[in-house]
Structure 1
């Protein structure tokens, strides 16, 4: 087990080192002078030279890379040009909406997908199975921004059940902010549930006809216990994998949904940074999102040890 944990941890470090290197190279190989691109066409030569010196772009490439690594080790992601504040602080201010949006979305997706996938596999070939598979394919093909706009039109505009957009004022309570997250979280949850449903169904089909399941039935064990304790538990590893990947994708892929619902999250910040050519914010956001992606996958790998004792050996 110790070897398994160490191997996964070293793999996580290797992936993050690769991501850091790629992010560093992308900014430096972009067409033109990054400082000139950030400041726009109206910038003077003196402004560009000042920014190049501030960003360290006037140094040799290897020294820039070493300085960049040193900044990251100190937890310094740079300074936002347009916000005039540390990138880490800007990301931290926008983290709450994105975190809760991702959390509620994955909870909604799992609440929909797991029961439907299990029941569809148990009733393979039935009308329920066919309808569930069709709806899963339909949900996977629906653009999240379109579904979000439909929800806004129906539930926010027509019925006035939920706020149209935003995240409440600075002093808004958690309940008020939760009401702003219901529609976007439901939007992402429905779209994300499609993949989890299909993986759950496929994984359950792989184990429902195994010998240990038939043995449990032959001993007179109830169907619910057979399906949940023996079949689903052994089918859980692929399901955990896809849930972890979905959660990681939601962290990085909620940009469009946050824009549609005007949520002041990380995705909205990244969109604004791209439009302003605020490279330090874009660079910092990429690194943080990549780190979260790798961390979520590491946590899922650790959950394998709990779900399947065979992994320990």
Structure 2
């Protein structure tokens, strides 16, 4: 077990290192640099050369990467070219919106998909199966930003029940903040719930045909007891994998929804940095997204050991 954990952790560190190197190289290959963006196109070559020297842009690539990596490891992500403030503070500030939004979307997705997928598999060909199929097809086909627009028009413009956009901040109270995040969370959760419904249905159907499920039925256990006590726990691995992937996708993929509802989240920060050519922010935000995906996948892998005893024996 300890050897397995050590190998997984070493793989995590190696993957993070390779990803950070690739991100730095790709950002360095983009046309223009921080100095030319800060001074504009009208700057003289002499002024540009002085600023490039002050920023260390005239140093070799490997040296600049080492300095950037050392800063990342120490928590110093540099200063934004647009805002002139530390990038770490910007990420933490925007994450206070994006992280609760992603968590709410995951909870809503699981709450919709898990019971619907299980019931669809338990009553294959029945009403629940038809509802689950229609729900998954429609929710997957409809983009999240379009759902966001429909929700905004219906509940804000027409009914006036929810705020049309913006975020009051957590200092305004828990209820107003959650109310501002509810419609964006539903818009993000709908497509993911469709995918998760299909995965849940397939995993439960496959597990229902295993020998242990048939044996439990033969011993006299009710269908519901077999389903929820034996089948569903053994079908959780692909479901858990999908939930982990969805969480990272929701954090990194909330750009359009955050812009529809004017939420000051991490996705909107990334889009603003891209439009303003703030390379420092872009570089750090992309690294944060990549690191989150890698770390969440690592946690999901470890959770397999708690769910499936067979993996603990192999380890």
TM-score range, shorter chain: over 0.9
Look up the match of 1:207.
207
CA distance in 1, matches of 2:201, 2:129: 9
* TM-aligned CA deviation for residue 7 of structure 1: 1.9
Alignment of 1:269-280 (within 5 A): 269-280=269-280
Separation (CA, whole Å) in 2 of partners of 1:54 and 1:161? 53
Q: Which residue of 2 aligns with 1:145?
A: 145
Deviation of residue 35 (structure 1)? Answer: 3.0
Instruction: Within 5 Å, give how 1:232-251 maps onto structure 2.
Output: 232-251=232-251
**Matching residue of 1:286:** 286
Q: What is the deviation of 1:27?
A: 1.5
Q: Which range moved further: 70-79 or 188-197?
A: 70-79
CA–CA separation in structure 2 for the residues paired with 1:227 and 1:135: 22
Q: Which residue of the partner structure matches residue 310 of structure 2?
A: 310
Structure 2: gaps spanning 5 or more residues: none
d(CA) in 1 for partners of 2:29, 2:35: 12
Counterparts of 2:80 and 2:118, CA distance in 1: 47
Aligned to 1:55: 55
TM-score after normalising by structure 2: 0.95
Secondary structure of the corresponding residue to residue 302 of structure 1: helix
Q: How do 1:1-313 and structure 2 match up within 5 A? A: 1-37=1-37, 39-168=39-168, 171-313=171-313
Encode CA deviations 1:19-59: one digit per residue, 9 max, x unaligned: 10011101111134453245442444355334423432110
CA RMSD of aligned residues (A): 1.5
With structure 1 as the length reference, what TM-score do the two structures score? 0.95
Deviation at 1:64, TM superposition (A): 1.4
Per the TM alignment, residue 114 of structure 1 is displaced from its structure 2 partner at its CA by 0.4
Structure 1 residues 230 and 51: alpha-carbon distance in aligned structure 2, compared to 1, 3 A threshold: farther
Which moves more between the two structures, 99-108 or 19-28?
A: 19-28
The whole-number CA distance in structure 2 between the counterparts of 1:160 and 1:244 is: 35
Please say which of residues 45-54 and 298-307 is displaced more in the overlay.
45-54
Where does structure 1 lack aligned partners over 5 or more consecutive residues?
none
Superimposed CA distance per residue, residues 164-185 of structure 1 (whole angstroms, 9 cap, x where no aligned partner): 0001157411111111001000
Q: Report the count of equivalent residues.
A: 313
| Counterparts in 2 of 1:225 and 1:40: CA distance versus 1, 3 Å | farther
